[in-house]
Amino acid sequence: MPLAIYALAAGAFGIGMTEFVIMGLLLDVARDLDVSLSSSGLLVTGYALGVVVGAPVLTVFTGRWRRKNVLLFLMAVFIIGNFLCAIAPDYATLMIARIIAAFAHGAFFGIGAVVATDLVAREKKASAIAIMFTGLTVANVLGVPFGTWLGQMYGWRATFEAVTVIGVLALIATAFLVPRDKKHTTINVAAEMKALLRPQVLLGLAITVLGFGGVFAAFTYIAPLLTEVAGFSDAAVSPILLLFGVGLFIGNLYGGRLADRRLMATLIGSLVFLSVVLVVLTYALDNQIFAIITVGVLGAAAFSTVPPLQMRVLAKAEGAPSLASSINIAAFNLGNAGGAWLGGVAIDHGPGLAGVPLVAAAITAGGLVLALISWRMDRSPERKLASLAA
């Protein structure tokens, strides 16, 4: 893979750390800012909604810029947002700062994925996306456990200070390693919106929302699930998150390789895998050893879905690569926002904290149903046309 893809992965590392590290710090933030656990969980929802809004807005806003300049601008926005998180005096300010940081997320991954696929041969495009998204998985292997430990030892603000520094390093890596070409993001809004309104593209976006939404319904509350349901100490959370990150790394790479060979089979298989693991997690929390193993497997199941979900939308949105890619990243985060919110609803008004994994499994199962419908439409074009006409 070209070095530029690894530079993009460095940016993904910083973004991934700020997105995921808050899960391990929810209890610390709630205690320090004197808010409820479900309210601190809304920091995940707020970030995700920031991605949903920021992805299409910034992609269109930077539509005539050179792609490298876009990536550098987005990393600068990310740095500013995380610096504001570190100095936020209250919950409202922290929420606003999280949303600012989130604005860079969708457009960076969306445009970065297009840049990555342009740098490799056709048969390696899903693998190139997987390598870029490896930054997210490494963030979970190294960044999130370290950030959780740092926050528990020195306060959660120290974690966001560290993320700010990582953002600066990622900006430098992007500046030096991503080649400066003459390509622009070239957004023709009318043409790209027309492509996005294709039934299979809309269905692909819905699959992303539901299929990945189950991950965050459970993972947002992974720290309290481990401490209050499984009975682990606070100090045990970081090592278990490390195992989760290893699972992400493995699942992401193999998801990309398999998607290069058989895209829809990989997509459907990964959603089945994820749904089953989330159900198993419900019962695994009764046994600490089983819980540790299942959390690691959950990481692999979660990110095995990412390359096929992204490639499915890109494949069906031919003619609208930049906007489609960014909006699918927004779809991931819409799923994150909805999943985190539904997890909070389950805690406050439903089966409680212990029932969150089952709620998560039901969300992902909804994405699986849509994937099967989309696959059937691919295989039965005559039936598809008849249904559209009706």
Q: What is the pLDDT along the chain (390 residues), one digit of tens a residue?
A: 778 888 888 889 999 888 878 877 888 888 889 888 778 888 888 888 888 888 788 877 887 788 888 899 999 999 999 999 999 999 999 999 999 999 888 788 878 877 887 777 777 777 777 788 778 778 877 888 888 889 988 999 999 999 999 999 889 988 888 877 655 555 566 766 777 778 888 899 999 999 999 998 998 888 889 999 998 988 888 888 888 888 888 888 888 888 888 889 999 999 999 999 999 999 999 999 999 999 999 999 998 998 898 888 888 877 666 677 778 888 887 888 888 889 888 888 888 889 999 999 999 999 999 999 999 888 775 454 444 443
Domain ranges across the chain: 3-389
Number of H helices, E strands in the chain: 17, 0
What's the rounded Cα separation, in Å, for the pair 278 and 298? 7
Distances (CA, A) of 88 to 83, 153, 181, 226, 357: 9, 19, 38, 28, 32
Specify the pLDDT at position 389: 43
Reduce the DSSP state of residue 229 to 3 states and report it. helix
Query: Can you read off the two tokens belonging to residue 133?
Result: 């998204």
Residue 351 has a pLDDT of 85
Helices (H), 220-353: 222-224, 234-261, 263-284, 288-304, 306-316, 321-349
Whether the CB-CB separation of 16 and 135 falls below 8 Å is answered with: yes
CA distance 172 to 279: 42
Nearest-CA neighbor of 277 among 360, 217, 355?
360
**pLDDT for res 187:** 59
Q: Which CATH number fits domain 3-389: 3.40.190.170, 3.40.50.360, 3.40.50.460, 1.20.1250.20?
A: 1.20.1250.20
CA 312, 317, 322, 323 torsion: positive or negative?
Answer: negative
The CA-atom distances, in angstroms, between 384 and each of 202, 311, 387, 389, 390 are 14, 21, 5, 9, 10
pLDDT (0 to 100) of residue 84: 95
- Nearest-angstrom CA–CA distance, 387 and 56: 30
210 contacts 92 by C-beta, under 8 angstroms:
no
